[in-house]
Structure formats: structure tokens, C-alpha cells
Amino acid sequence: MSTQSAGGAGRTYYAALSTQRPALVGALLLGLALAWLFLGGGLEALAGRSGLRSQEGAGGLPVVGTRAPSFSLASADGQSIALQADDGQPAVINFWATWCVPCRTEMPTLEAAYQTHRGAGLRLLAVNVLEDREDVVPFGRGLGLTFPLLLDPLGEVAARYGVEGLPTTFFVGRDGRVLHIHQGALSASTLDAQLQRLLQ
């Protein structure tokens, strides 16, 4: 029958604790990291590193009433398409991705609006973010989309517009100023209301 002194028990306890210390420290550090991400703005910092966050300031999305940034991008069918803020044409700029379920959901709504209002001079520019032509072309064909699908493979234009989530849509007036910014999928009624304002 073995016996153990109080001192021996104490030494055994602290020895066991010391072997568990790395795991405890790791769990503590993980908890702190998660708290930083979700409570301390860490997600915004990570978004900035990914290229989806505007690098021009902490304001995020452009303010309604300011000029929309001009840009030029290649389309999925190989054309070069530019948006100039002072060209006098109203524009809808939709940032999206093929993997984005809400983006897919709103595409038929955008196509219907494009067919209805293109004769009135509406430009609809669908800017795909961080994907290649090989992803975009079959997506557009599968949905029968006829408006330009633009490629922003490095997310540079999305960053200039301060895009933080997909889909995000900008409504740009004839004077080149942002009239409205919509985050999330557009319903037919919301899109129609904004287009009536845009094209008046």
C-alpha cells in the first residue's frame, strides 16, 4: 500500500498544471483573438488587407452625394468598358460574385430592369469581384444575362468604392454623383423605385 505526503501531492498537482499550461495559454490567446475579431474591429482590419475595404479612409462606402469613382475594366467578353463620372449617363454599378447566393437571386431582376430601361440610356455594370473569366462566363450564360459583366480580379475597383459585402449596388446620376447605395439583394420593387428616381 503506497502513501503520499501532502508535499508530494502538491508537487504532483503543480507538475500536472505545468504540463497543461501551454494548452491553457493557447486557449486564452484564441479567445482574445476571437474577441478582437468580432468586437474590436478586427474584421474590418482583415477586410482592408483582403482588398475589399477602401484604402482612402475609414469612411467605408462613399457618401451619397459625392462623385462616383471613375474606372475602366475588361468585360467577360473581352471589351474594355469605362465609367466616367461626367459622361452624363445614369448608371447602376452592381458588385457581385458567382458564389454569392443573394447575387444570383437578384440577377434576373437586374436583367429585367436592364431590358426595360436600356432604351432610356441606363447603363448597368455588373462588377465581379476577385474571380476569373472562367468563373464569370458560364455564370452569365446560364442566367441569360445581356448586360456587361466586368472583371475586377484583384478587387481594386471594389476597394475604391469601399465595398464591404456582396452584393452592393450603387445608383449614379447623370451628374456622376451617387444617389443611393444598396447593400444586399435588390427586390424588384426597390430596384424599380430607385430607377424611377435615377432616370427622371
Angle at 173 between CA 71 and CA 100, to 5 degrees: 60
Spatial contact of 110 and 131, defined as CB atoms under 8 Å apart: no
Sequence ranges of the domains in the chain: 6-40, 60-199
State the cell numbers at 97. Answer: 460574385
Specify the pTM: 0.71
CATH for the stretch 60-199: 3.40.30.10
Spatial contact of 132 and 151, defined as CB atoms under 8 Å apart: yes
The CA distance from 95 to 159, in Å, is 11
Q: Is 165 helix (H, G, I), strand (E, B) or coil?
A: coil
pLDDT at 61: 57
Q: Is 41 helix (H, G, I), strand (E, B) or coil?
A: coil
The residue among 171, 191, 168 whose CA lies nearest residue 179 is: 171
Q: Which residues contact 50 (CB under 8 A, 6 or more apart)?
A: 155
94: left (phi over 0), alpha (psi -120 to 50) or beta: beta
Characterize 99-124 residue by residue with b for buried, 16 or more Cβ atoms within 10 angstroms of its Cβ, and e for exposed: ebeebbebbebbbebbeebeeeebbb
pLDDT tens-place values along the chain, 200 residues long: 443 444 454 444 334 434 444 444 444 444 444 443 334 333 333 333 333 433 333 454 588 999 999 999 999 999 999 998 778 899 999 999 999 999 999 999 999 999 999 999 999 999 999 999 999 999 999 999 999 999 999 999 999 999 999 999 999 999 999 999 999 999 999 999 999 999 98
